[in-house]
Copies of this chain bind each other. A is one copy, B any other.
Amino acid sequence: MPTLTLRELADAIEARFEGDPDVALSGVAPLERAGPADLSFLANPRYEESARESAAGAVIVGESFLGNGRNLLRVSNPYLAYARAVELLLPGPVFRAGVDPTAIIDPRAEVSSESSVGPFTAIGPGARVGSGAEIGPSCVIEAGVEIGSGCRIFPRVTLHSGTRLGARCIVQSGSVLGSDGFGYATDERGRHHKVPQRGGLSIGDDVEIGANVTIDRGTAADTVIGAGTKIDNLVHIAHNVTIGQNAFIVAQVGIAGSTSIGDYAVIAGQAGIVGHVRIGDRARLGAQAGVIGDVPADAEYSGYPARSHREQMRAYALFARLPELFDRLKAVESRLKRK
C-alpha cells in the first residue's frame, strides 16, 4: 500500500494542512478506530468530540473545526476530500486489459483492445465495449449492447439486448439490466398474455447500479436513467420509467411503470412509487414511503399514502396518542350525558 505524508496528501487533494507536514499516512479508518498511520475525516459536527479524541494520524476537517494542535487537512467538503484520499492511500486493483481465454466474444462484437473481459463471459454480436471498460467473470452481454469507455461491470451481470451504458458506469454483481417488463393484456377469461417488450434501456454517464438490481427495458420506447444517478442494491425499476440526472435511489426501492423521477431526487430505502406519476426535481421521499400520486419539485414526502413529511410526522405523532384521544372523547361524552 502507498504511504503519503500529510503534505503530499494536502497537495493531492487540494487541502490546507495543519500540524506535522511529514507525518506518514498509509490507511484510512473511522475516527473511533483510527491509529497513528490512519487518515480519518469529520463530516458531521456531531462527531467533533470524536475528532478531537481520535488516535488518527490526521483528520480531514471543514473550515470551522477548532484545531487543537493535531494534524489536520482543511477543505470545504471533508467527505469529498476523504473519497479522493482513499483512492490515493488504498488504490483499487490495477486495471489490466485483456480477454480471458474462456470468454466467448462474437466476432461481430467490437471490443476495445484496451478493455478487459473475465472468464466465462459471453458477448453477443454487435455489442460494443469501450476503451478501459472492465467486464467481470460470468457476465452475459447480449447482442447489440453498448458499454461506454471506463465502465466497470462486476461479476455475474446480465445486460440484455437494447441496453446502452454511457461512460464510467458501474454495474454491480447480479444485476439484470434490460429485462422484460411486467406487461400483459388480460383476456375476457382472465388469462394474461405477454405484451412483447421491444424497447431499450438507456443509461447515461457515471451511473452506478448496485447488486441484484433489476431494470426493465421499455415496452416500445426506452427506459431511461440520467447521467450521474446512483442506484443501491435490490432496487426495481419497471419498464418505461424515466429517471433524471444525479438522482439517488436507496436499496430495495421499487418504481412502477412509466413513472418519471426528477434530477437530484432522493428516494430512501424500501420506498415504493406507483406507475404513471411524476416525482419532481430535488424531491425527497422517506424510507418506506408509499407514493400514489405526483410529488412536486423540492417537496419532502413520507409515509403511506405519502404526503408532506412535516404534516405526516405530525399525524404519526398523534396516531400514537389515539388511545388518549378516545379516552378524552369518552370523558367528554360522559360529562355531556350527565347534564
Contacts and interface: CB of A to CB of B under 8 A. Distances in A.
Interface in A150-186: 154-156, 158, 160, 170, 172-176, 179-180, 182, 184-186
Contacts of A321: 326
Nearest to A189: B246
Interface string A210-240: 1111101001110000001010111010100
A182 B250 contact: yes
A220 B30 contact: yes
Contact of A272 (B90, B173, B269): B269
Main secondary structure of the interface of A (DSSP, over half): loop
Contacts of A319: 315, 319, 322
Given A160-B173, A270-B270, 20 more contacts: A30-B220, A77-B188, A80-B193, A83-B184, A86-B220, A122-B137, A138-B138, A156-B158, A173-B179, A174-B175, A182-B210, A190-B246, A210-B214, A211-B216, A287-B292, A304-B304, A304-B316, A314-B322, A321-B326, A325-B325
Interface of A: 27-30, 33, 76-77, 79-80, 82-83, 86-87, 90, 92-93, 102, 104, 118-120, 122, 136-138, 140, 142-143, 154-156, 158, 160, 170, 172-176, 179-180, 182, 184-188, 190-196, 198, 206, 208, 210-214, 216, 219-221, 228, 230, 232-234, 236, 238, 246, 248, 250-252, 254, 256, 264, 269-270, 272, 274, 287-288, 290, 292, 303-305, 307, 311, 314-316, 318-323, 325-326, 328-329, 332-333, 335-336
